[in-house]
Amino acid sequence: MSKLFDLDSPLMRILNKVADLMILNVSTLLFCVPGLFSGYVALQIYTTEGIVNLPAILMFIVLSIPMGSAITGMHFVLLKMVRGDEAYIVKDFWKSFKLNFKQASVIWLIFEVAAFLLVLDYKIYMGSDTFPKVMLIMTGVVAVIVFIIYLYVFPVLSRFSNTIGNTLKNSFLMSILGLPRTLGMMVITGVAFMLPVLVPDLIYRIFPIYILFGLTLPGFLCALLYSPLFKRFEPEVKEEELSTEEELLAAARAIQGADDAEYDEVARIIQDDGMDEDDK
């Protein structure tokens, strides 16, 4: 019975992983809540008054900028957890957050614009009898493509250094290459985020679960699916001999398109942040 509570026992390893997911989820939410709240306010103004409030939209855009970097940092830590690598939850999250802030912010804004245009097209098509139904079908196809790219783009950004264009392109190619896994990721993410929308009364009962695991649990399950696919494109190195910073530098040339200037930028950020002995 005493062995059940040993530090190396299966039960304790599971509890440690659960605690890590909780810490990582709260860390990610700290950067997502302002954007989500401002988006909710803008949506409420639109639904109640029927107008697009420009100040509310601008506030949403500004406050939502860190969300892309937060999701990128979350996936960087989740991939380490899935592979059983030693992960310093907050430290590794913050390091990836800073390293990918510029690209992740731009990519996040691209997805916001894409989502806005898709919703606008949907409302136009549904409110008019002059547009052919095939346009609505095409909008649905584009929405699915945007969704599967979204599922991969931030995990790809967290692991590989590349241009924004190549990151988006490679995310789409990976989603096609790992199509069975992609379908699983679509189901996991779709259920996690659509459940409160489809069953609004349920959100009050499961709200604490979403606060603790709403982002990291679906992300962890998705990481289990995309991790084997990523390994096919990663440099062949011995993981146990690399620190967190060295892993990022090694991955900087893993996918075609990363030039010397981008690699030097990665190296500069890591050098400025410092390489601690705890990472080795």
What's the mean pLDDT in 236-252?
57
pLDDT at 151: 96
pLDDT at 273: 55
Residue 249 has pLDDT above 80, yes or no: no
pLDDT at 275: 43
What's the mean pLDDT in 102-115?
95
pLDDT at 250: 60
What's the mean pLDDT in 178-205?
84
Q: Which residues contact 79 (CB under 8 A, 6 or more apart)?
A: 155, 158, 159, 223, 227, 230
What's the mean pLDDT in 99-122?
92
Report the alpha-carbon distance of residue 13 to residue 6 in Å, rounded. 9
Residue 161 has pLDDT above 90, yes or no: no
pLDDT at 125: 82
What's the mean pLDDT in 182-195?
91
Neighbours of 98 (CB within 10 A): 15
What's the mean pLDDT in 156-169?
93
pLDDT band at 121; cut points 50, 70, 90: confident
Who has greater pLDDT, 269 or 140? 140
What's the mean pLDDT in 52-66?
87
Residue 277 has pLDDT above 50, yes or no: no
pLDDT at 120: 84
Residue 260 has pLDDT above 60, yes or no: no
Report the alpha-carbon distance of residue 86 to residue 204 in Å, rounded. 35
